[in-house]
Structure 1
Amino acid sequence: MPYFCLTVFVITTAILTSMLAPKAQAETQAASAAATEMQPTQTILEHVVHSKILGRDVRLLVWKPKQDAPEGGYPVIYSFDGETSITVFAEFAGQAAMLGKRYGLVPPVIVGFAEMPGGYTMERRTHDYTPYADHYELSERPNGFEWPELGGGDTYLDAVMNEFKPLINAQYDVNRTRETLFGHSLAGMMTLHALATRPDAFDAYVAVSPSLWFNSPQRFEEMTALLSNPDFAPKDPIPLIMTVGSKESGLSNWDSRLSDEDREQRLIWKKMNAMVENTEKMADLITEQGKGKIELDFAVLERENHHTAKPITMSRAIEMAMTPR
């Protein structure tokens, strides 16, 4: 299947003109006017795939190391939310590539699942990143809107397994025994859902700030079912990184800029979601019942919120993927 090169690079320049003499200001302005576009530091490849399972075109955004593949192929990280994840992942992986040379380690191929340009909406994301259930128990949304259609998560995972991964396996020299699934927020919940219901689908899992409040206690019940199943006896424990920001259950510094009414509503929503408490509860469950089955690396990231926890954990995911087991 053909692929297309997609490059994204943003440069922001600040000039403190108040500190410059008039002549220097004029020279600076002339230089700024002659600025040319800088070459991107990383290149992202774009594969457009028609998914028969999803009934629409989607994109697979891929970063590939410049180094030759190691014996057995590159490790690979598959990431939900490719639109917002791939460039950050690519920058971190590029830095890890330079460091890894010292130790004879090669970074992973990064694959981001993404919609077509203009196709990304919160309604579609909510549908695709929520598992099916016969019934949903959900609180009112903070914006007062009705919940969109839910429950497309298992169909989306079918597309990942039967359409997306086979394409990557055919196009790139990847190691099929070193595959990691990465997700954040609703996608973090989907990552845990994949582990609980398809433990053989990937070799390692990374769940950042998983939305375990969604239709609780469904995620806890399915994880308990997996860990208590005598047929679930992996030869080696399955690696799982799970993180959450310490400030996710309360107000952030920026929330102080909201009106009193909006700040109160936001606090109510965050307390109901109990992101920190629910993630700690899941970590306790896995620690107590998953000995010898799941190798858990759990952290509450101090001073971090729902958004800043993601890039920190991306770096940890790359390190884990690069390290042979």
Structure 2
Amino acid sequence: MHVTIPNTQRFNVEADYRNRSFQIDVYQPNLPVPDEGFPVIYLLDGNSTFSTVVDAVRLQSRRPERTEVHPAVVVAIGYPTEEPFATERFYDYTLTEPDFDVTKKWGDRELPAHGGAEEFLAFIENDLKPLIESKYSINKQKQTIFGHSLGGLFVLHTLFTNSQAFQTYIAGSPSIHWNQTAILKEREQFINTKPKLDKTVSLLVAAGEMEGNHASYMLDNAKQLTEELKAVPNLEAAFQIYDNENHISVLPRLINQSLKIALK
């Protein structure tokens, strides 16, 4: 017997690069549509996060006057696989080849292709968003992008290169070390050009306490990057460490905090 999540749909969307096909899962609340439309959360690595986020939104938005979490559409950008992660993410979420030695991680295995972040972002902006907005009632002024690990790196890239694309950016345990030279260059350009954000944009960068022991300096990189962004006008940048959490266990706590920021 197949179990389905209520009020959800699944469909595939073809992209115009690398014969890429994305598995898109969408949840829309079974509630009257607000005059301005529902807020929307776009999830990277959708295979791994969709059900958790949907359950959190469904439960917490039942009493928004208490939780400060309002109903929202959830859009998971995943891949046609039953696994939580797909190797295609290495191309879609990264800017260039890795800046560090990956031989210990990959050994004799072939390193997946890298450097497709621009193409992936163009797919989201030019193909996926218009499709979602044609099928669902979306408030274009309350859009969130959520990414973790390499997905968190992509979220930062999106903020630095297209800060008007979303109003809330969630970068969990961002793999800054993976493309450190490129992402820090983008950060400096973003800060130095003093982007004129029409309205306040929120950024949450977060990681688990146990990631502080990682050879990538995950916590230090994330904290330093966030601190320097606090000087940008109309950018509300926050950094959070979750105690006793590792690179994967951090996700449920990150999701809960993200909803309070994105759907208040």
**Length-normalised TM-score, structure 1:** 0.75
Residue 115 of structure 1, CA deviation: 1.2
Residue 227 of structure 1, CA deviation: 1.3
* 1:214 aligned counterpart, secondary structure: helix
| Contact 2:47/2:85 (8 A) holds in 1 | no
| Contact 1:54/1:156 (8 A) holds in 2 | no
Instruction: List alignment gaps of at least 5 residues for structure 2.
Output: none
- Aligned CA RMSD, in angstroms, stands at 2.3
1:208 to 172, 180, 190: 172
Match of 1:138 in 2: 100
Q: In 2, distance between residues paired with 1:110 and 1:140?
A: 34
* 2:211 aligned counterpart, secondary structure: coil
Match of 1:111 in 2: 75
* 1:86 aligned counterpart, secondary structure: helix
Q: How does 1:31-42 map to 2 (within 5 A)?
A: 42=6
| Contact 2:60/2:69 (8 A) holds in 1 | no
The structure-2 alpha-carbon separation of the partners of 1:104 and 1:161, relative to structure 1 and needing over 3 Å to count, comes to: same
Report the count of equivalent residues: 262
Identity of aligned residues (%): 25
* 1:296 aligned counterpart, secondary structure: strand
Match of 1:62 in 2: 26
Residue 57 (structure 2) pairs with residue 93 (structure 1): yes
Instruction: List alignment gaps of at least 5 residues for structure 1.
Output: 1-6, 10-39, 251-269
The structure-2 alpha-carbon separation of the partners of 1:193 and 1:208, relative to structure 1 and needing over 3 Å to count, comes to: same
1:306 to 238, 244, 247: 247
* 2:238 aligned counterpart, secondary structure: strand
The structure-2 alpha-carbon separation of the partners of 1:312 and 1:42, relative to structure 1 and needing over 3 Å to count, comes to: farther
| Contact 1:243/1:298 (8 A) holds in 2 | yes
**Length-normalised TM-score, structure 2:** 0.91
Residue 299 of structure 1, CA deviation: 0.6
Deviates more, 1:178-187 or 1:52-61: 52-61
Could you give the per-residue CA deviations for residues 83-121 of structure 1, whole angstroms, max 9, x where no partner exists?
111100111011112121657963211000011236986
Could you give the per-residue CA deviations for residues 245-294 of structure 1, whole angstroms, max 9, x where no partner exists?
110132xxxxxxxxxxxxxxxxxxx22x111111111112112x32x231
Residue 245 (structure 2) pairs with residue 245 (structure 1): no
Could you give the per-residue CA deviations for residues 130-153 of structure 1, whole angstroms, max 9, x where no partner exists?
12x4x6532124241342211011
Q: How does 1:224-263 map to 2 (within 5 A)?
A: 224-230=188-194, 232-250=195-213
Q: In 1, distance between residues paired with 2:257 and 2:13?
A: 29
Match of 2:88 in 1: 124
Q: In 2, distance between residues paired with 1:210 and 1:285?
A: 16
| Contact 1:128/1:151 (8 A) holds in 2 | yes
Q: In 2, distance between residues paired with 1:67 and 1:43?
A: 10
| Contact 1:108/1:318 (8 A) holds in 2 | no
